[in-house]
Structure 1
Amino acid sequence: MAMSENSLDLDDGNDDLRAVGDAVSGIERRASVSRLSQGDEASVEELNRAGARHFAKGDFAAAIHFFKLAAIDLSAVGAQANLGRCEIRMGQFDEAAARARSLVFADAHQWTGWQLLGEALAAKGLHAEAIEAYRRATTLAPEQAVTHRQLGVSLGHCLLLDEACEAFARALDLNPEDEGSRYQLVINKRHVCDWDGLDGLSEQLKSRVAAGIALVSPIDLLSEDASASLQLACATRQAERLHEDARKKTVHWERSSHRPSSGRLRIGFVSAGFGQHPTAILTSALFEQLRNSPVEAHLFSTGAEPVSKARERLMAAAYRFHQVSKLTPQTLAQRIRAEQIELLVDLDGYSRACWPMVYAYRPAPVQIAWLGYPGTTGARYIDYVIADRFVLPPSLAAYFSEQPAYLSRCYQSNDPTRIVPVPQSRQDYGLPVDAVVFACFNGTFKLGRRSLDRMFKALKGVPGSVLWMLEGPGKSSLRLREMARGADIDPARLVFTPKLPHSQYLGLYRHADLFLDTEGYNAHTTASDALWGGCPVLTRPGNTFASRVAGSLNHHLGMPELNVGSDDEFVAFAIRYGNVREWRDALKQKLALQCDVSGLFDVKGFAADFADLLARIAKHHRSGGRASNFLQ
């Protein structure tokens, strides 16, 4: 963030709580205040700068000391605000909110108090109230870029993504070097399918990531057509930050009196998705199979969602289910070490709001990435990534920091016990009775001009066909229909359905004829849903892990014809499939057969192979072997 005479940079790197520069008032800047006449050595501005230096280092207690000295002068509004920002970062949210309200009460026309109030409310998760405070601040001081960015963050939390885009765009317009606003603008525009100017912003973001200027969550970079090498650089930078943070906090290890049962390999699985989540959908049947294997599956749930049927199923399947959502990363690491976990499997990576820092403490001798994050962690403390040779070929493995541990089958586990329900009629969903239904139920953030262009060409080539999608956030559906109109396609041929509970959503595939996958960032769990629901998935495997998942599913399903090599092949396949009913019927019949015989949905076989792979990794480690010389 740029520094100026009137602003001290207090940015601590937190995207949700971007620290605001101290707005040193004119009175503060020119006053030596009464203390100086009594022989004090520092001015208010100097004290604020000293506090800001400690704030930047994360030493908030020391920062408070200097800000309190500066705040002795009652006119030092900026020092009061900075005290509040320190309180926020020390978890004293109520104190910060009270301080902000006192500033607002003293002068409702001073933007600093409103801004601090917005920060404090946002820290408490009260984003709707924070929005109102930020709006007051931006009205009083429209030139303050950081307040527009903070407003955008809270709007995003309230799923007001179109308004969030406006706020981030305003912040970036005021400060073109505001990397946080550029980053947030890209990902929010991606979600609402606002592609006006997005290509240029995306290229700017990627170039700044490559130069080490912008700090971006690796999961968000997957939607930006980033190369495997750039994904590795981004992930490595994130992992190094986590590692450095972990080094600052000592963890004291204790051993549990509970000992592993004889002859069983103790494996820990950590995820925020042990509930109503794709992780649970993919792994529940696997954990049930592992109950009768040489593996003790310990599930560490970092998610705080209420108990559901999906969660109860996992709790019953696990050797032991550990609810750890209230633990800190340090105490979670201690808990894992105390349970004497030998192999620790990260099911999240950078995919969700979880604690990837826990792995930097090295709570287990061997640490493995699998399933949840479709890319490299870039972390020296993650030893292996479980994959298959299609989704992670040797040419791509060079861009992974982890040693690949290959399964002979698809790396993705699946649940063959799921029932595909009989849905409502096509008419009930606004679909034509007899025409071909192309479907794409991927998230809107996976869409792009290239993917949509292929879909539109397929629609034009198959008379009467429709494209069936899930309703996205904000104005995304409206924008997609406008793009159809611009491509000389009746907007009514894009049919949108609200998101449904998984048990109902799975039945939608009975009405879908062909799933048209997205470029760059494939359907993953959604692809296996489609296949299990009887809908073939047409995809073009790319040069990154995230762009090869659907291809891996097709490959191991025994239907490689669904993997095409170019956009032209993609469109030609879709058009022929839509126009030749006999070919369409034959392919669907083959899909039904392959789901039974290919092994893709053979969870018993998967569990055996998975347990064997983990046992070989453990044996290799016990014999003193390193991940780098693990033999496949």
Structure 2
Amino acid sequence: MSSISPHLALNQIMGPSHIVPASSRRLNIRLSLIIMDKRSKRLISEIEKALVSRPTKIPIKSIEKLLGKTQGSDRLHELLVGTKFALENNQAQTALLLSAISLTTFPENRDCWATFGYVIQIIAATPAVWSVLEKYLGKTQDPNLLIEFRHPIRLAGKQDLVKLLPIETVELNPILITLQVNVAQRESMELATKILEKGKIMLDSNSFSATTEGEFLYCYGEHLLSLGRHTDVIRLLKPFISDQKKIDQIPEDQQKPLRAVLSSAQSRLGDHLGALATSLTHSVSKLPMDESNAAFIYNIALIFSNLQLRETAAELYYLAFQMDKNDATTGFHALYQRSHLCNWEDRDNLKNACNSAIAHSFKQGTSRLRGARMLASCAFSATTMFDSLKLQSHLLERSAEAHSELPAQNQPPPIPRKTEKIKIAYLSADIYSHATAFLIAGLMESHDREKFDIYLFSYGINQADDSFRKRIRNAVGENFLEVSQWSDEQICASIRDEKIDITIDLKGFTQNGRPFLLYSRPAPLQINYLGYPASMGMPYIDYFVGDTYTLTNNNRKQFSERLITLPIFYQPPDSSRTLTESFDRSSHLDIAEDAIVLGAFNSIYKLTPKIYDIWLKLLSKHPKCILWLTDTSISGKSRLFKLATMAGIEPNRIIFAPFLDQEEHIGRLAHVDIFLDTYPCVGHTTATDALFQGIPIVTIAGETFASRVAASALHHIACSELIAESYDSYYQLLDEFINDKEKLEMISRKVKENVKKYQLFDTQRYTRVWEEALTGIFNQWKEGLSASDFFLKI
């Protein structure tokens, strides 16, 4: 076939563009200049074509013709030269297959290991290659193959190869145990936990390299993190990472994921400074601009975000996204944090890049649940920052991929109980003075205890003295469960033990949520309600709740869930809320008596340059108008003031409202003449706060559910004349009301009257409608009917 010069090193065979690891030894065969004959070239081309067209089949005949009857070192010579030629001529699958045959035929030759190790790092293996390796393992049960090539094995999802080894061999090697755990996680998280616990005992009883120990601990820590056992993660990893002698022996690329798992656990338990110390091992500014550093910078940005150090977090997220434009999560975080600061520099390009990134699958990594975590991390930003049904369809695609990563569940299907009461369990992290608590407090008090047993699983921070937490706890009574220290499995076990009929997730993909908590389906029916204004895209969530305005034929496709369509505004009201005494305007605003107050109390991140430009045009045209905004950071104020000055607006016409308790905040809304809504992320709870005071809201109705909430509230009190369909009509509506005092007074009276007339804040009425919907879907299930869209009529 060819001849090559004597004792030529392997990296010389590959040439300067194909350098292999320095550990490879010189070949013990005679080599001279390589001259490939036409027949050999043709056979290699045939092998490549066969592998491309039928990747599962090994082209045995062509390979036998290529190698002929050669044996021993001559056969090795032919395989290595064939590998080199295939690589140089872009016949990648042939190169990988020949190097696999070299390795499995001559396992005692270290050059074969080095060659295969090099090639499989740059080429994804076909089933034919895995077939060669599987056959070799079946014959030799050689553990070194799995240990040496564990990384490409994990990336290819071929951890099942570990089953070909004797169990006693696996249980004595930490690396093999991690592969065994990867396999077990697909079947049972409990089984995986037991394997890791046993492996840890073995690890502690023997001496292994720091690199091996670190790899095992990463696997164990990542597993515990996925179970929500954050305290156990810290106990496991902190001693090892704090041992400077050990950690210094570990390569940098292995240290980063270890630190990331520990810092994530610390951050989730509120130790943000500890998480920061864990992650900041090097100066970020010195890191090269490449993808390998993007994840590291992202983790540091996440910690700064948790510490509410938004300016730094925003720039770090932005830097990480510049390093890796395929990482949608980082891009959406950059957009979200910059929006909190009213930093709109490069906003259009950033939004376009985010749109492009989310259209593709999340990048695979060593973490089993990486896709699920990335989805949970960016879905809220993607939903609230865009009014795009196409983007929502991409989120559904990512959700389907994330769900495929979750381990299989073997729980038996729930059996209908013979009971008079339906057991309902609400789950949330926001049982304190938070928008969710403001909405559900009255509902919790109004549920019919003759027909329903109500439970509430609170897995957020326990703020025992918070007034709304006390109120909800008192309403739920002994069924209020403080579960912030419980793992997902423990919460689900409790749901099963209590024989809950319907679980209601109030968080979804929102901050501090546990969106995968219910994936084991602990209850027969599971609902996505109130907190996350979009589909979770998960088959274990049966229903999403909306109303006749937020849900349309056009946006139906943005939901994987069946829809519960209420005939009234879908948000639960609280008619028992009280207001503080309303003082005159001067107690809040130092303005002229005839000033027109334009109030905008949505979270500042919802403000966009297009909406703010409209507000500035209105201020410029109407000198008596004052803009009253939600308070924001110093840098955010500075940017808004700068834009106002450029538009010729005096800074004293823009006033920032400090944070107040809920009752005081709603009290001061009485001094607002018109409530300015934002878009595409419109007011939700803030919109109903304004309507509670009878303040007219001007909003834009978009396509997605999230962009139609404020308009829905207006629709359900027959005030659709306040709903705009575009930026232009939004400006025109506001301009008309500001221009025409009589028209403004008329719509203000109508809002006040219709809020009462259409019972927008009648908690008892809402609760009965809500309970009717829950009863309806539960009866369908009891009758053995599949879940379907449920449209309730008054």
Q: How far has the Cα of 1:548 moved from its partner?
A: 0.5
Q: How far has the Cα of 1:48 moved from its partner?
A: 8.2
CA deviation string 1:113-166 (max 9, x = no partner): 996667645532343354456555126952244433332222112111111222
Residue 772 of structure 2 aligns with an amino acid whose one-letter code is: D
Residue 218 of structure 1 aligns with an amino acid whose one-letter code is: A
Q: Secondary structure at the match of 2:788?
A: helix
1:97 alignment partner in structure 2:
238
Q: How far has the Cα of 1:303 moved from its partner?
A: 2.0
CA distance in 1, matches of 2:247, 2:544: 57
> Which of 673, 682, 685 is matched with 1:513 structurally?
673
Q: Secondary structure at the match of 2:773?
A: helix
Q: How far has the Cα of 1:414 moved from its partner?
A: 0.6
Residue 523 of structure 1 aligns with an amino acid whose one-letter code is: G
1:494 alignment partner in structure 2:
654
CA distance in 1, matches of 2:327, 2:627: 38
> Structure 1 pair 207/484, CA: closer, same or farther in 2 (3 Å)?
same
Superposition pairs of residues 292-331 of structure 1, within 5 angstroms: 292=449, 294-307=451-464, 308-318=466-476, 320-331=479-490
Q: How far has the Cα of 1:236 moved from its partner?
A: 4.7
CA deviation string 1:181-223 (max 9, x = no partner): 3343222222222111122111111122123347443211123
The TM-score with structure 2 as length reference comes to: 0.67
2:694 alignment partner in structure 1:
534
The answer to whether the Cα contact below 8 Å between 1:239 and 1:378 also exists between their aligned partners in 2 is yes
Q: Which moved more, 1:468-477 or 1:519-528?
A: 468-477
CA deviation string 1:46-65 (max 9, x = no partner): 99864545776799852799
Q: Which moved more, 1:274-283 or 1:581-590?
A: 581-590
The answer to whether the Cα contact below 8 Å between 1:438 and 1:465 also exists between their aligned partners in 2 is yes
CA distance in 1, matches of 2:521, 2:280: 44
The answer to whether the Cα contact below 8 Å between 2:326 and 2:357 also exists between their aligned partners in 1 is no
> Structure 1 pair 73/413, CA: closer, same or farther in 2 (3 Å)?
closer
Backbone CA RMSD of aligned residues = 3.8
Structure number with greater CO (CA < 8 Å, separation at least 6) is 1
The answer to whether the Cα contact below 8 Å between 2:526 and 2:541 also exists between their aligned partners in 1 is yes
> Structure 1 pair 474/246, CA: closer, same or farther in 2 (3 Å)?
farther
1:218 alignment partner in structure 2:
379
> Structure 1 pair 618/123, CA: closer, same or farther in 2 (3 Å)?
closer
CA deviation string 1:552-604 (max 9, x = no partner): 10111221121122222221221232233333223222222222221111111
1:468 alignment partner in structure 2:
628
> Structure 1 pair 588/154, CA: closer, same or farther in 2 (3 Å)?
same
Residue 586 of structure 1 aligns with an amino acid whose one-letter code is: M
1:557 alignment partner in structure 2:
717
Superposition pairs of residues 252-331 of structure 1, within 5 angstroms: 263-292=420-449, 294-307=451-464, 308-318=466-476, 320-331=479-490
> Structure 1 pair 379/117, CA: closer, same or farther in 2 (3 Å)?
closer
> Structure 1 pair 182/611, CA: closer, same or farther in 2 (3 Å)?
closer
Residue 415 of structure 1 aligns with an amino acid whose one-letter code is: D
The TM-score with structure 1 as length reference comes to: 0.83
Q: Which moved more, 1:309-318 or 1:230-239?
A: 230-239
CA deviation string 1:456-492 (max 9, x = no partner): 2222232131211112246222222222223332233
Q: How far has the Cα of 1:610 moved from its partner?
A: 1.4
Bigger radius of gyration among the two: 2
> Which of 605, 623, 628 is matched with 2:788 structurally?
628
> Which of 545, 548, 552 is matched with 1:393 structurally?
552
1:227 alignment partner in structure 2:
388
Residue 547 of structure 2 aligns with an amino acid whose one-letter code is: D
> Which of 333, 337, 360 is matched with 1:188 structurally?
337
CA distance in 2, matches of 1:338, 1:597: 44
> Which of 474, 480, 499 is matched with 1:340 structurally?
499
Q: Which moved more, 1:178-187 or 1:189-198?
A: 178-187
Q: Secondary structure at the match of 1:468?
A: strand
> Structure 1 pair 254/225, CA: closer, same or farther in 2 (3 Å)?
closer
Q: How far has the Cα of 1:245 moved from its partner?
A: 1.4
Q: Does 1:602 align with 2:762?
A: yes
The answer to whether the Cα contact below 8 Å between 1:274 and 1:303 also exists between their aligned partners in 2 is yes
Q: Which moved more, 1:426-435 or 1:510-519?
A: 426-435
CA deviation string 1:66-124 (max 9, x = no partner): 9x89x9897x7x66765664464354435533433433799799977996667645532
CA distance in 2, matches of 1:139, 1:336: 44
Q: Does 1:369 align with 2:511?
A: no
CA distance in 1, matches of 2:238, 2:21: 26
Q: Which moved more, 1:128-137 or 1:386-395?
A: 128-137
1:137 alignment partner in structure 2:
282
CA deviation string 1:514-560 (max 9, x = no partner): 11111111100110011112322110111010010001101112211
Q: Secondary structure at the match of 1:395?
A: coil
CA distance in 1, matches of 2:282, 2:630: 37
> Structure 1 pair 428/339, CA: closer, same or farther in 2 (3 Å)?
same
> Structure 1 pair 449/504, CA: closer, same or farther in 2 (3 Å)?
same
> Which of 435, 455, 458 is matched with 2:615 structurally?
455
State percent identity of aligned pairs.
25
Q: Does 1:155 align with 2:304?
A: yes
CA distance in 2, matches of 1:501, 1:361: 38
Q: Which runs of 5+ in 2 are unaligned?
A: 1-19, 26-107, 119-143, 160-173, 180-195, 225-231, 364-373
> Structure 1 pair 212/571, CA: closer, same or farther in 2 (3 Å)?
same
Q: Which moved more, 1:238-247 or 1:486-495?
A: 238-247
CA distance in 2, matches of 1:199, 1:279: 31
Q: Which runs of 5+ in 1 are unaligned?
A: 1-27, 34-38
Residue 322 of structure 1 aligns with an amino acid whose one-letter code is: L
CA distance in 1, matches of 2:782, 2:239: 56
Q: Which moved more, 1:503-512 or 1:576-585?
A: 576-585
> Structure 1 pair 118/598, CA: closer, same or farther in 2 (3 Å)?
closer
CA distance in 1, matches of 2:281, 2:605: 31
Q: Secondary structure at the match of 2:695?
A: coil
CA distance in 1, matches of 2:214, 2:320: 21
Residue 563 of structure 2 aligns with an amino acid whose one-letter code is: P
> Structure 1 pair 51/476, CA: closer, same or farther in 2 (3 Å)?
farther
Q: Does 1:360 align with 2:519?
A: yes
> Structure 1 pair 389/95, CA: closer, same or farther in 2 (3 Å)?
closer
The answer to whether the Cα contact below 8 Å between 1:109 and 1:140 also exists between their aligned partners in 2 is no
Residue 102 of structure 1 aligns with an amino acid whose one-letter code is: D
> Structure 1 pair 413/119, CA: closer, same or farther in 2 (3 Å)?
closer
CA distance in 2, matches of 1:397, 1:505: 35
Q: Which moved more, 1:45-54 or 1:611-620?
A: 45-54
Residue 463 of structure 2 aligns with an amino acid whose one-letter code is: P
> Structure 1 pair 111/416, CA: closer, same or farther in 2 (3 Å)?
same
> Structure 1 pair 323/584, CA: closer, same or farther in 2 (3 Å)?
same
CA distance in 2, matches of 1:519, 1:140: 36
Q: Which moved more, 1:173-182 or 1:381-390?
A: 173-182
> Which of 157, 175, 199 is matched with 2:348 structurally?
199
CA distance in 2, matches of 1:570, 1:164: 33
The answer to whether the Cα contact below 8 Å between 1:223 and 1:445 also exists between their aligned partners in 2 is no
Q: Secondary structure at the match of 2:380?
A: helix
CA distance in 1, matches of 2:706, 2:153: 40
2:777 alignment partner in structure 1:
617
Residue 573 of structure 2 aligns with an amino acid whose one-letter code is: N
> Structure 1 pair 251/352, CA: closer, same or farther in 2 (3 Å)?
farther
> Which of 536, 542, 550 is matched with 1:383 structurally?
542
CA distance in 1, matches of 2:702, 2:459: 32
Q: How many residues align?
A: 593
Residue 462 of structure 1 aligns with an amino acid whose one-letter code is: H
> Structure 1 pair 53/158, CA: closer, same or farther in 2 (3 Å)?
farther
1:128 alignment partner in structure 2:
273
CA distance in 2, matches of 1:109, 1:497: 51
Q: Secondary structure at the match of 2:716?
A: helix
Residue 357 of structure 2 aligns with an amino acid whose one-letter code is: R
